[in-house]
Chains A and B, each alone.
Chain A
Amino acid sequence: MSIDKETIKHVAHLARIELQPNELEKLFGELHEILGFIDKLSILNVEQVKPTSHILPISNVLREDAPHVSLGSDKALENAPSKKGNFFSVPKIIE
């Protein structure tokens, strides 16, 4: 299986990354090669194999419903590129 340029554009949009035309071109070549390499997995018969999404045999890790000390708005906003009062400020969402 491989990837075409339209798919790369769509995926770049899903990932919210703006690609320049030359980047798209380069990525197309690189991903094509990488996916070709990854395709070697397709020869394996994995029908009866269970997937491993967690390598550790642990389960049910929970925490008590007990409060901790929160950061407070000053600390929370310390790194903000743009803020207004106690809010983070972002450009308007234009559909």
Chain B
Amino acid sequence: MELNQLTAHELLEKLRAQQTTPEAILDSLYARIQKIDPKVKAYVRGQADRTPTEDRHACFLLGLPITIKDNICTEGLPTECCSKILQGFRPPYDATVINKLKKSGGVIFPLKANMDEFAFGSSTENSYFGPTRNPWNLDYVPGGSSGGSAAAVASDEAIWALGSDTGGSIRQPASFCGVVGLKPTYGRISRFGLIAFASSLDQIGPITKDVQDAAILTGLISGYDPGDSTSVNQDVPDYTKSLTGDIKNLKIGIPKEYFIAGMDTEVKMIIQEAVNKLKNLGALTSPVSLPHTEYAVPVYYIIATAEASSNLARFDGVQYGYRASSDNLIQMYKLTRAQGFGQEAKRRIILGTFVLSHGYYDAYYLRALKVRTLIKQDFDKVFGDFDCIVAPTSPTSAFKIGERAQDPLSMYLSDIYTISVNLAGIPAISIPCGFTKKGLPVGLQIMAKPFNEALLFRVAHTFEQNTDWHKLKPSL
């Protein structure tokens, strides 16, 4: 196998044994990218660079490179959220997760991964640089908004990657691309340096080839950050210790609201088989109810767009990025934002501004905050009796490029199984559990109580080690 085809833990072993070097790994990645990225377009910019930037030989990661989504600030490297309005923006600082990775000896891959502009999207079709394509079938979307990261990992253009998840943006592309994606508990990983979409929902998380890599990476980037008021001061366990392979007598809830009409029948079957697999491995499954599931998407599109409308107000051409020319300030604002933002961004900003505006706040925003409470209470109740919840990550497998682009509402509905997790602030992981007849991956989602990522890794790893889905690679 080529170096770029290995997992992070396999490469770390080789690096420790001095059987390879960071430069060799980088070369292997660059060669792969040169060959297939013109088709896949997982990456958007950056120069191939072999120069070691840190002295990392004594550190854990030993120079292993990691791919970063374009909304995570990397000092000196352009970070543009794949939007025209941030063109050329070079952050004068590193995100906390980047700092942690560098301190652990990791190399920040100089090419940034493609994404839906400002993370607004579920297909990576909203990128200013054009869509990324699903490595399993180039006519299909990789999912979004972390589509670039997921596609890169799936096609071995990356060893592992960081994405961000606000309503499913790590898990859904992970499921569409047949890789592992984790959204940690809200507050587990620092948001400092993550360009904000919806502050009360955003989290950074790993996208990896297998569960062990996800466990390693999560451990490295988790932890309290005094620079983030929403980061939680709780010890980070050694997640690799939870890879025990044992899920006997684990109580798993299967939410009936997640198996509704409109769900793809193939996906339904594959998920049911996966659930059976878990049963065969000793877990005890039962149907449960999350009664407010159908309200999650509307609640999300009120809260997330409201927060986004405020978070994106700073993009005005004054300090950085794109500025439209005008001799009048107000016109400059209006033209910069009209020309700099894509359609989906404008749609969400307008919607978000509307739901906060005078006369509508109570009916929309305040009401949504209350329904959010009900959604959280649904999960609290189930976790009172069950260890975790298992469900599909997405109602369908990947859809064709262009298929939903003109229908925003249908695009929003593809987040239906992932969104509640963000609203409740709980952790969830998506792992590959099968393929449709068309050869497109299907993802299984596991959810747990806040700060119980260890359980997620245990269940996910056990399932993975007893199946071969994670070993398959696209034929690119």
* Complex A–B touching at CB under 8 A: yes
A37-81 CB mask vs B (1 if < 8 Å, else 0) is 111111010100111111110100101000000010001101111
- Binding-face segment, B24-32, B168-176, B345-353, B388-396: B345-353
**Is B353 touching A14 in the complex (CB atoms < 8 A)?**
yes
A14 to nearest B CB, angstroms? Answer: 5
Number of A-B contacts (CB under 8 A): 165
**Is B229 touching A16 in the complex (CB atoms < 8 A)?**
no
Cβ of B21 < 8 Å from any Cβ of A?
no
Q: Which chain B residues border A20 with CB–CB below 8 Å?
A: 338
Q: How far is it, in angstroms, between the C-alpha of A33 and the C-alpha of B409 when the chains are bound?
A: 8
Cβ of A6 < 8 Å from any Cβ of B?
no
**Is B309 touching A15 in the complex (CB atoms < 8 A)?**
yes
Whether A81 touches B321, Cβ cut-off 8 Å, given contacts A17-B350, A53-B200, is: yes
Q: Which chain A residues border B15 with CB–CB below 8 Å?
A: none
B122 to nearest A CB, angstroms? Answer: 15
**Is B369 touching A55 in the complex (CB atoms < 8 A)?**
no
**Is B200 touching A92 in the complex (CB atoms < 8 A)?**
no
Q: Which residues of chain B from 303 to 334 have a CB within 8 Å of any chain A CB?
A: 309, 313, 316-323, 326-334
Q: Which chain B residues border A94 with CB–CB below 8 Å?
A: 328-330
**Is B329 touching A93 in the complex (CB atoms < 8 A)?**
yes
Q: How far is it, in angstroms, between the C-alpha of A3 and the C-alpha of B351 when the chains are bound?
A: 10
**Is A16 touching B337 in the complex (CB atoms < 8 A)?**
yes
Residue of A nearest to B334 (CB): A18
Residue of A nearest to B186 (CB): A55
B432 to nearest A CB, angstroms? Answer: 29
**Is B374 touching A49 in the complex (CB atoms < 8 A)?**
yes
Q: How far is it, in angstroms, between the C-alpha of A93 and the C-alpha of B332 when the chains are bound?
A: 10
Cβ of B153 < 8 Å from any Cβ of A?
no
B369 contact from A19, A39, A51, Cβ within 8 A: A51
Contact residue range for chain B? Answer: 35 or more
**Is A16 touching B367 in the complex (CB atoms < 8 A)?**
no
**Is B337 touching A17 in the complex (CB atoms < 8 A)?**
yes
Q: How far is it, in angstroms, between the C-alpha of A19 and the C-alpha of B354 when the chains are bound?
A: 15
A78 to nearest B CB, angstroms? Answer: 6
**Is B366 touching A11 in the complex (CB atoms < 8 A)?**
no
Residue of B nearest to A43 (CB): B295
- Binding-face segment, B34-42, B88-96, B105-113, B462-470: B88-96
**Is A49 touching B370 in the complex (CB atoms < 8 A)?**
yes
Q: Which chain B residues border A12 with CB–CB below 8 Å?
A: 350
A1 to nearest B CB, angstroms? Answer: 6
**Is B354 touching A7 in the complex (CB atoms < 8 A)?**
yes
Residue of B nearest to A82 (CB): B323
Whether A51 touches B349, Cβ cut-off 8 Å, given contacts A34-B409, A38-B301, A92-B328, is: no
Whether A56 touches B230, Cβ cut-off 8 Å, given contacts A34-B351, A46-B370, is: yes
**Does more than half of chain A's interface fall in helix, strand or loop, or is it mixed?**
loop
Q: Which chain B residues border A58 with CB–CB below 8 Å?
A: 187, 230, 232
Residue of A nearest to B332 (CB): A91
**Is B88 touching A79 in the complex (CB atoms < 8 A)?**
yes
A41 to nearest B CB, angstroms? Answer: 5
Q: Which of the listed residues A34, A39, A50 has the most CB atoms from chain B within 10 Å of its own CB?
A: A34
A18 contact from B90, B187, B335, Cβ within 8 A: B335
Q: Which chain A residues border B364 with CB–CB below 8 Å?
A: 38
Cβ of B216 < 8 Å from any Cβ of A?
no
**Is A88 touching B319 in the complex (CB atoms < 8 A)?**
yes
Q: Which of the listed residues A8, A31, A41, A42 has the most CB atoms from chain B within 10 Å of its own CB?
A: A41
**Is A75 touching B92 in the complex (CB atoms < 8 A)?**
yes
Q: How far is it, in angstroms, between the C-alpha of A71 and the C-alpha of B319 when the chains are bound?
A: 14
**Is A40 touching B298 in the complex (CB atoms < 8 A)?**
yes
B427 to nearest A CB, angstroms? Answer: 12
Cβ of B408 < 8 Å from any Cβ of A?
yes
Q: Which chain B residues border A79 with CB–CB below 8 Å?
A: 88-90, 319-321
B367 contact from A19, A41, A71, A78, Cβ within 8 A: A41
Cβ of B247 < 8 Å from any Cβ of A?
no
Q: How far is it, in angstroms, between the C-alpha of A52 and the C-alpha of B368 when the chains are bound?
A: 9
**Is B328 touching A56 in the complex (CB atoms < 8 A)?**
no
Q: Which chain A residues border B186 with CB–CB below 8 Å?
A: 55-56
Cβ of B357 < 8 Å from any Cβ of A?
yes
Whether A55 touches B376, Cβ cut-off 8 Å, given contacts A78-B90, A79-B88, A90-B318, is: yes
**Is B350 touching A27 in the complex (CB atoms < 8 A)?**
yes
A79 to nearest B CB, angstroms? Answer: 3
Q: Which chain A residues border B299 with CB–CB below 8 Å?
A: 41
Q: Which chain A residues border B295 with CB–CB below 8 Å?
A: 40-41, 44
Cβ of A30 < 8 Å from any Cβ of B?
yes
The 6 A-B residue pairs with the shortest CB-CB distance, nearest first, are A51-B369, A79-B320, A55-B425, A18-B334, A81-B323, A46-B370
Chain A residues in contact with chain B, CB under 8 A?
1, 3, 7-8, 11-12, 14-20, 23, 27, 30-31, 33-34, 37-42, 44, 46, 49-56, 58, 61, 63, 71, 75-76, 78-82, 88, 90-94
Chain B residues in contact with chain A, CB under 8 A?
88-90, 92, 186-187, 200, 226, 229-230, 232, 294-295, 297-299, 301-302, 309, 313, 316-323, 326-335, 337-338, 341, 343, 346-347, 349-351, 353-354, 357, 360, 363-364, 366-374, 376, 408-409, 412, 423-425
Can you report 10 A-B residue pairs in the complex whose CB atoms are below 8 A from each other? A15-B309, A17-B341, A44-B367, A53-B369, A55-B376, A56-B186, A56-B232, A91-B327, A91-B329, A92-B327
